[in-house]
Structure 1
Amino acid sequence: MTSLTERAEMHDNGTAPAAPAAPQYTAPPAGEPLPVFDFEDNEAYPTPEMVPVHIAWLRVRHDVRSVGKTDKHVEKDKNNRPYVKYNFRGVDAAINAFGPATLRHGVNVMAVDMTTNYRDTQSSRGNKMREATIVTTWQIMGPMGDSLPLLKSAGESLDSGDKGTAKAQSLALRALLFNTGMIPTGDPEPEATHVERGEAPTRSANDYRDEIVNPKTSAGRLEQISYELRNARMLHVLVTNEHGEEETLDALGMRHYNERTAQAGGES
């Protein structure tokens, strides 16, 4: 082992040993499956090389290469015989492709923020459905702890039970992996769960009136109600207000909006 002074002299004399070459990464051949992860086999997934996150993510893309549309959406014809309506790449296909590759190269994909929105609707057959829309902010962190700029992706689902949020979250993750990974998509991809939308049930004028006069209805919600009434062309529908007098929904909403904003200003 040489001292700092000796190394400086060697450098000045041009006799310093060459720095060891960085190990070269070789991507697996196209189509070759990655090894199945075995928690007992540390050699299958050794400690990842400490490289910047953009290099690690590029290596993940090298490993994944492509994901085929192997999942099938099956429906039944008029004779109750099943048939494949279309093929698609589901959430499991994305996880199975990217999971081993991100583990191999020390890449973590984490959701750091999520914005949700829900509304009641119905299918074309009149079945009650719940629509969930989720916009997720993701952080992709490399083995050295550095991260790519925060990324966003959206997922949307319709469900008749309590699985709408989970479906939308999964679809947002699938969109992130396939789009950020630049995985070829080919033909437009329908969703795994295909539901034809029907028109959302129209609320009655009295229903809107009751919500407007309710003191718990916020000023922000009153603005949204005005937008809904405009789209439904119900602004000038007459209703009986809280004083027993006839008043249009537009005037009723505006009056209560002004009262609530004035009250909020006085309290502040």
Structure 2
Amino acid sequence: MSTLAERAAAAAGRPHTTTPTAEEHTLPDTAEQAPAVDPMANYEPGEDDPDMVPVHLAWLRVRKEVRAIAKGEQYNGGGTRFNFRGVDTVVNTFGPVTLRHGVNVFPVKVDAEYRDTTTSKGNKMRECTVRVSWLIVGPKGDTLSLQTQGEALDSADKGTAKAQSVALRVLLLTGGLTPTHDKDPDLSVIERGEAPVRTPASYRDEALERSTSRSRMVQINAEVKQHGLAGVKVVNEVGDEEPLAGLIFRVGAERFGGGA
């Protein structure tokens, strides 16, 4: 038995074409599709291209080449003076090196907070604090994720840009563990020797000196006792032997009317 479609096709003088079934329109199962091809699989670096190493090795090579950045800039204002490493200096140092090793640094998220404030002179300022999420991408496309913060003050519209620049400097210096190679102040060692103990005779001579003040006589008396010289006998101004502490007390009493 022919179908209505077959009879209509025969009456029109054309062959009947069978309609494809639903199965014939079904796409191949996803699991049966060919696996995705790695775009870097057949990549061959050119003469100037970086080595195709993982991102952590590429970043290590950047650190090895940068070595150190000295605090070569100085701030001197408002009664404060200190040396520092500026944003431009740090970026100018890292920029060409990261380029050579195929390392890219991208800010992927910036969270900013603002606060109005004033300087000590009453000038209005805008404070901006940012938290920046960074993505360090290596030559093979793998990544490292880091986060830093920056803070800046500005009287116009540059606070956000300044704060992000500070956050970038912090990323490069801390993520690169970049030393200054400045001399460590803790390495300066001063050999501190003990002052030699004065002789009883030198204390006697100072006590007998007419220009010695009352306060100094009190101090001499304390030093003599501290060094255990109070009972040591010395020859006084009339040629007799007298305990040093007794001489000091007597001379002070005679000179100042109350003793040393």
TM-score by length of structure 2 reads 0.50
In terms of Rg, which structure is larger? 2
TM-score by length of structure 1 reads 0.48
